[in-house]
Amino acid sequence: MPAEIIKQKSRGFICVNAHPEGCRRNVAAQVEVVRAGLPGNLEGAKNVLVIGCSTGYGLASRIAAAFGFGAKTLGICLERPPERGRTATAGYYNTAAFHEMAHAEGLYAASLNVDAFSDAAKRSAAEIIRRDMGKLDLVIYSVAAPKRVHPRTGQTFSSVLKPIGQPYHSRTIDLDSGRVTDVTLAPAGEEEIADTVAVMGGEDWRFWMDMLAEENLLAQGARTLAYSYIGPELTWPVYRDGTIGRAKKDLERTARELNAALEKKLGGNAWVAVNKAIVTQASAAIPVVPLYISILRRVMTEQGVEEGAIEQMRRLFFDYLAKGKKPATDAEGRIRMDDREMRPSVQQATAEIWPRVTTENLGEITDFAGFQEEFRGLFGFGVEGVDYAQPVETDTRWE
């Protein structure tokens, strides 16, 4: 496939192409964050499975494990490879870049481009783990998907982003025009709620952990984490108290059950880590959230506590998951990586700005420009040091 000039193509919160060099530089920048000031005596998990490894917190987790702990990593993702006349997805290019950098450091890295919900994916992963890695010390579950085909019944479930019980009226940003608009979301029906739990709840995490236990692929003291979000009260109607929140509560229930089983059998642990709101394609699709994140970014930057995905995962892995450390948890048994976002000073300043935002002052009192820049960067566009006028090879693949 000949090199070509790649220009961003997007519609709202959907970007339909990606820039391989921009994605590669994004991954390289995350590697450098992990390496910066790396403690000389740091030890951690050596065999790590990351389910949902190609973007966001999953990718950052894999980078932290590999370049922080020197871990062997197996990643599970579902990304579109490059085709004639069409670039790969950003997650595909991210994974290719990770493989390149890990192998250059002599680190084992393998990835499966499969549907993580399927039994076939689990069987393939078990074969690789047994053959190449040995028993797992750490399993990260970071899957974000709009649909799930149940492996036992064949039924297809689709998730929805809706409130529960009554309509929700609030404000959001139209990502195409940059206008602050009112939004009303109709409440979900019971079937939509159940389907969202089936896609985004804890059942598939449990299926993965059950399979690994049955195949004797979990090490003594093995740990597993799934990622979640709670956020402030102003987003609760569409998030914590909505369909997504119902699924996340199911995830938390699953964590408690898995934790009890792992403690009894292996002296291990299972946790939900509640992370900070960041710009992702998934978060950009949730009404209200882009406006909240735009305000939050400004407030946390001004207060000197802003973190991206990689900074948070560096802190999680180094301060909570390194050898000899057991993370403190809240009353519900969750690791609160959102502690800086939820500081009273941050939330108070955010709440004060929220009702004042208009289309006219959006750029002045929020960091919507930073939100847009980070959103473009997710797909490799607007990345510092990349000459977008130059042709680039799009047929980049991982081994």
pLDDT in tens, 304-323: 999 999 999 999 999 999 99
Per cent of the chain over pLDDT 70 is: 99
Q: What does the DSSP assignment read for 129-167?
A: IIIII-SEEEEEE----SEEE-TTT--EEE-----SSS-
Residue of higher predicted confidence among 12 and 4: 4
Is residue 174 very low, low, confident or very high in pLDDT (cuts 50, 70, 90)?
A: confident
Calculate the alpha carbon distances from 123 to 52, 116, 211 in Å.
16, 11, 8
Residue of higher predicted confidence among 161 and 257: 257
Q: Is the domain defined by 10-161+191-285+306-338 classed in CATH 3.40.50.720?
A: yes
CA pair distance 239, 30, nearest whole angstrom = 28
Mean pLDDT value across residues 323-335? 92
Amino acid in the structure at residue 240: R
Mean pLDDT value across residues 369-398? 93
pLDDT, one tens digit per residue, over 200-217 is 999 999 999 999 999 999
Which residues, in sequence order, are bridge partners of residue 15?
10
CA pair distance 325, 321, nearest whole angstrom = 6
Task: Go through 40-50 and write b for each residue having 16 or more CB atoms within 10 A of its CB, e for each that does not.
Answer: eeeebbbbbbb
Q: Give the pair of three-digit tokens for residue 298.
A: 């400004």
| Highest mean pLDDT, choosing among 6-10, 144-148, 255-259 | 255-259
Other CB atoms within 10 Å distance of the CB of residue 33: 18
CA pair distance 16, 24, nearest whole angstrom = 18
Is 3 a residue whose pLDDT tops 90? Answer: no
Other CB atoms within 10 Å distance of the CB of residue 71: 25
Is the distance from CB of 125 to CB of 116 less than 8 angstroms? no
Which residues, in sequence order, are bridge partners of residue 269?
223
Residue 15 confidence (pLDDT): 86
Residue 73's closest CA among 12, 14, 132, 117?
132
Is 135 a residue whose pLDDT tops 80? Answer: yes
Is 11 a residue whose pLDDT tops 80? Answer: no
CA pair distance 234, 214, nearest whole angstrom = 43
Amino acid in the structure at residue 53: C
CA pair distance 263, 385, nearest whole angstrom = 48
How many alpha carbons fall within 13 Å on the CB side of residue 180?
19
Mean pLDDT value across residues 188-209? 97
Residue 399 confidence (pLDDT): 66
pLDDT, one tens digit per residue, over 345-362 is 999 999 999 999 999 999
Is the distance from CB of 228 to CB of 272 less than 8 angstroms? yes
Is residue 228 very low, low, confident or very high in pLDDT (cuts 50, 70, 90)?
A: very high
Is 40 a residue whose pLDDT tops 80? Answer: no
- Verify whether residue 141 is a known catalytic residue: no
Is 35 a residue whose pLDDT tops 70? Answer: yes
Residue of higher predicted confidence among 159 and 396: 159
CA pair distance 90, 16, nearest whole angstrom = 9
At 220 the three-state DSSP class reads strand
CA pair distance 79, 355, nearest whole angstrom = 39
* Residue from 57, 93, 229, 239 carrying the catalytic annotation: 239
**Residue that is written with structure tokens 């969202």 in the block:** 196
Q: What does the DSSP assignment read for 344-379?
A: HHHHHHHHHHGGG--TTTHHHHS-HHHHHHHHHHHT
CA pair distance 184, 172, nearest whole angstrom = 10
Weakest mean pLDDT among 105-109, 162-166, 170-174, 295-299: 170-174
**Residues counted in the chain:** 399
Residue 290 confidence (pLDDT): 92
Domain boundaries, the chain: 10-161+191-285+306-338
Residue 1 confidence (pLDDT): 58
Mean pLDDT value across residues 192-197? 97
Is 112 a residue whose pLDDT tops 70? Answer: yes
Residue of higher predicted confidence among 154 and 281: 154
Using only C-alpha atoms, what is the Rg of the chain? 20
Is the distance from CB of 22 to CB of 386 less than 8 angstroms? yes
Is 36 a residue whose pLDDT tops 80? Answer: yes
pLDDT, one tens digit per residue, over 69-86 is 999 999 999 999 999 889
